[in-house]
């Protein structure tokens, strides 16, 4: 038997559900028409239990809401400011001083006309200064004196102020709640069933990560089922895609490495 025939004979696909007879995707259980359900016979999506027809049914939830009521506040600040100001303005004084002796000479100045022409007047004259005496004044002693005595300062600066205000605060609402998802301990973007899945959503199984529609155990990528498959559109066990996560590799079987493969332990790219 050649390799192509052997691969065709061993080709199988594990659906994106855990259990049987599920029409939708990402279910754990059986006979579920919807998606991301845990249980049996659910026609809606994201349900937990049996025979639900709507969405998000059978999930536990609780919520607590409360609020701090609005309350009034006011204040009225009144006070008097008193600033005492004390001090002294120093006296203005004059020290003693002496005006020294000084002289005042006294003399007589005489002008004599030597030539006089009528109508024209004196055309030649001579001036003669005749000393008379010299007077001596001083010295004069000026005693010390106080022009303005010390001036005391004793006053108080006073100012009163009043600063009132009022208003309201609140109300302040607060609350918390919890809504069960179809699975347990999942951190997917959209609801998933199963346990510990971290992906875009619509996953089932456990410990799957990556894009949407994963089921099984420990898969990483998009549209995966089975166990420990990394890539896009893989089923089976331990298969690995050589393509990027956005490209469908279409691998099924066991421990295949490549793209478009089925069977056991194959590598490369199939037809």
Residue 93: both structure tokens together? 């004084």
63 pLDDT tier (thresholds 50, 70, 90) = confident
- Secondary structure element (H or E) that encloses residue 9, with its range: helix 3-9
226 pLDDT tier (thresholds 50, 70, 90) = confident
Residue 254 has pLDDT above 80, yes or no: yes
Share of residues in the chain with pLDDT > 90 (%) = 20
Residue 7 has pLDDT above 60, yes or no: no
Give the pLDDT of residue 4. 35
pLDDT tens across 187-221, in order?
A: 777 666 666 777 666 666 667 776 666 767 667 77
- Backbone φ and ψ for 66, nearest 5 degrees, come out as -150, 180
Most confident region among 46-55, 92-101, 193-202, 251-260 by mean pLDDT: 92-101
Handedness of CA 202, 203, 209, 211 (dihedral sign): negative
Task: Over range 35-40, report the average pLDDT.
Answer: 81
Enter the pTM of the model. 0.33
**E strands of 138-197, at which residues?**
140-142, 145-148, 151-169, 172-179
Residue 138: both structure tokens together? 């001083």
Give the pLDDT of residue 201. 67
Give the pLDDT of residue 151. 92
Give the pLDDT of residue 183. 67
Cα atoms in the 13 Å half-sphere on the side-chain side of 77? 4
Residue 20: both structure tokens together? 């049987």
Give the pLDDT of residue 269. 76
d(CA 29, CA 204) in angstroms, rounded, equals 10
Q: Are 159 and 78 in contact (CB under 8 A)?
A: no
More confident: 146 or 223: 146
Residue 42 has pLDDT above 50, yes or no: yes
263 CB contacts (<8 Å, ≥6 apart)?
Answer: 6, 7, 9, 10, 11, 253, 254, 256
Q: Are 76 and 166 in contact (CB under 8 A)?
A: no
d(CA 144, CA 97) in angstroms, rounded, equals 8
d(CA 53, CA 18) in angstroms, rounded, equals 20
Give the pLDDT of residue 217. 67
Give the pLDDT of residue 202. 66
More confident: 232 or 139: 139
d(CA 97, CA 103) in angstroms, rounded, equals 19
9 pLDDT tier (thresholds 50, 70, 90) = very low
Q: Is the N-terminal amide bond of 171 cis, ω within 30° of 0?
A: yes
Residue 110: both structure tokens together? 């005489």
Residue 98: both structure tokens together? 């002496």
Average pLDDT, the chain: 80
Helix (H, G, I), strand (E, B) or coil at 96: coil
Give the pLDDT of residue 86. 93
Residue 235 has pLDDT above 90, yes or no: no
Q: Are 226 and 210 in contact (CB under 8 A)?
A: no
Task: Over range 220-242, report the average pLDDT.
Answer: 79
Task: Over range 105-116, report the average pLDDT.
Answer: 87
């Amino acid at each position: 038997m050649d390799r192509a025939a052997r691969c065709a004979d061993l080709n199988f696909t594990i659906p994106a559900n855990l259990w049987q007879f599920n029409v939708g995707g990402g279910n754990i259980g059986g006979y579920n028409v919807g998606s991301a359900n845990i249980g049996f016979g659910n026609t809606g999506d994201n349900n937990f239990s049996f025979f639900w027809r709507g969405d998000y049914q059978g999930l536990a939830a609780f919520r607590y809401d409360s609020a701090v009521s609005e309350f009034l506040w006011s204040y009225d600040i009144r006070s008097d400011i008193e600033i005492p100001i004390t001090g002294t303005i120093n006296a203005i004084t004059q020290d003693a001083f002496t005006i020294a002796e000084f002289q005042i000479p006294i003399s007589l100045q005489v002008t004599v006309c030597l030539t006089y022409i009528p109508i024209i007047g004196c055309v030649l004259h001579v001036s003669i200064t005749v000393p008379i005496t010299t007077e001596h004044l001083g010295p004069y002693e000026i005693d010390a004196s106080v022009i303005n005595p010390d001036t005391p300062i004793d006053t108080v600066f006073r100012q009163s102020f009043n600063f009132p205000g009022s208003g309201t605060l609140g109300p302040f609402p607060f609350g918390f709640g919890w809504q069960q998802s179809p699975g347990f301990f999942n951190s997917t973007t959209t609801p998933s069933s199963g346990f510990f899945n971290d992906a875009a959503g619509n996953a089932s199984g456990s410990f799957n990560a990556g894009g949407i529609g994963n089921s099984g155990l420990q898969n990483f990528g998009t549209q995966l089922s089975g166990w420990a498959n990394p890539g896009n559109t893989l089923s089976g066990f331990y298969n690995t895609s050589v393509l990027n996560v956005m490209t469908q590799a279409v691998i099924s079987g066991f421990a295949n490495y490549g793209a478009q493969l089925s069977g056991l332990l194959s590598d490369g790219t199939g037809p």
